[in-house]
């Protein structure tokens, strides 16, 4: 394979999709079903009465009638997240392998190293979008709102204030009430549990509350013995609380004084991937990542681009509960 072949959409896109993904808490959970689409927009059908309980009847009886629900159709544009950088001849020629003086690194390895840096930034943005879907609002890099899912679906955002500064507050009941609210809004979707990503201020106030401390004093001691960290997650009131203290480019993923409760189950969260805006990818099924290279003027290196075209979506934003104190 010659050098030019390494910079095609097929070669570079195959390479960037095989490269490791930087660790991300939401991505690692696997709750977002990845789905490729052939268009740059996604149509979401909302159907009231999506799931019903079927009553037991005699085999000779007529089947139960199901009342028709209202339908609503909404269209969402996928995001376009491109990054590019030049790759000069000096970066491809005579580069020694790490720890060696003479043996040169294969050109494909150098290209992959540059792709990895671009992919890391794009994946951080995809994680930012996943967190936005968990909170019901997809944000741009500057913090402006791209999509408010509560407004889009015409549902109210559930916010609960928990008096963590009061020793007598029934924190467990507040957690159970958050779960009950979510379960009532899921329309029969089977969930495997509930989690909450917490800002550091919420997490500290929560774990310092007398009733929470009393319930998990032994748990913390056990974690200390094995060098564990309570912030990595523990369950209280049927919700697993995890501290999520991440800021990228000045944007905090979870506000410091908030705990975002969300259901874990199939069919609640999706990540749609649209095709890239290249001639070669028109009307093809979208991939999570794309890359392509173009030769620079006078043959002085290449311009390498990486991109993603995602849309993170929560199909039940009414089941999301924000806890604050």
Model confidence band, residue 259 (pLDDT cutoffs 50, 70, 90): very high
pTM score > 0.75 for this model? yes
Q: How far apart are CA 190 and CA 51, in angstroms?
A: 11
Residue 112, pLDDT score: 87
Extract the tokens encoding 276: 């890239």
Per-residue pLDDT tens over the stretch 118-154: 999 999 999 999 999 999 999 998 899 999 999 998 8
Residues contacting 188, CB < 8 A, separation 6+: 50, 51, 52, 53
Per-residue pLDDT tens over the stretch 80-125: 999 999 988 887 776 555 555 454 457 788 888 889 999 999 999 9
| Kind and range of the H or E run holding 262 | strand 258-265
CB 115 within 8 A of CB 291: yes
In the chain, where the domains are located: 3-49+71-324
Residue 179, pLDDT score: 95
Residue 108, pLDDT score: 80
**Strand, helix or coil for residue 164:** coil
Please tell me the number of Cα atoms within 13 Å of 224 on its side-chain side.
Answer: 6
Residue 188, pLDDT score: 75
Residues contacting 24, CB < 8 A, separation 6+: 123, 124, 126, 127, 130
In sign, the C-alpha dihedral spanning 285, 286, 288, 290 is: positive
Per-residue pLDDT tens over the stretch 162-219: 999 999 999 999 999 999 999 999 877 888 999 999 999 999 999 899 989 877 776 6
CATH of domain 3-49+71-324: 3.90.1690
> What is the DSSP annotation of 81-108?
EEEEEEE-HHHHSSPBPTT-SSPBPPHH
Extract the tokens encoding 124: 């951080």
Across the chain, what does the average pLDDT equal?
85
Model confidence band, residue 6 (pLDDT cutoffs 50, 70, 90): confident
Per-residue pLDDT tens over the stretch 279-316: 999 999 999 999 999 989 988 888 999 999 999 999 99
Residue that the structure tokens 């960290």 belong to = 229
Is residue 228 scored above 50 in pLDDT?
yes
């Amino acid at each position: 394979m010659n050098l030019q072949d390494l910079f095609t959409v097929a070669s570079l896109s195959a390479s960037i999709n095989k490269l490791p993904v930087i660790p991300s808490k939401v991505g690692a959970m696997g709750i977002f079903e990845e789905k490729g689409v052939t268009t740059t927009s996604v149509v979401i059908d909302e159907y009231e009465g999506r799931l019903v309980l079927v009553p037991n009847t005699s085999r000779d009886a007529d089947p139960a009638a199901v009342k028709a629900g209202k339908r609503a159709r909404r269209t969402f544009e996928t995001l376009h997240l491109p990054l590019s950088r030049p790759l000069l001849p000096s970066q491809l020629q005579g580069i020694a392998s790490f720890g060696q003086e003479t043996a040169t690194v294969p050109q494909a390895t150098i290209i992959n190293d540059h792709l990895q840096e671009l992919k890391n930034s794009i994946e951080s943005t995809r994680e930012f979008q996943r967190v936005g879907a968990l909170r019901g609002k997809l944000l741009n890099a500057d913090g402006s709102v791209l999509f408010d899912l509560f407004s889009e679906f015409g549902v109210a955002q559930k916010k609960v204030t928990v008096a963590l500064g009061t020793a007598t507050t029934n924190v467990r009941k507040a957690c159970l009430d958050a779960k009950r609210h979510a379960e009532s809004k899921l329309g029969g979707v089977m969930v495997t549990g509930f989690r909450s990503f917490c800002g550091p201020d919420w997490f500290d106030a929560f774990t310092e509350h007398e009733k929470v401390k009393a319930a998990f004093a032994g748990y913390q001691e056990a974690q200390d013995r094995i060098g564990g960290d309570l912030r990595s997650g523990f369950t209280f009131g049927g919700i697993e609380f995890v501290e999520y203290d991440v800021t990228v480019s000045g944007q905090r993923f979870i506000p410091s004084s908030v705990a975002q409760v969300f259901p874990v189950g199939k069919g609640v969260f999706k990540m749609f991937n649209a095709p890239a805006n290249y001639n070669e990818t028109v009307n093809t099924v979208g991939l999570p990542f794309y890359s392509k290279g173009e030769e620079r003027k006078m043959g002085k290196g290449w311009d390498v681009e990486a991109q993603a075209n995602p849309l993170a979506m929560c199909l039940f934003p009414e089941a999301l509960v924000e806890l604050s104190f």
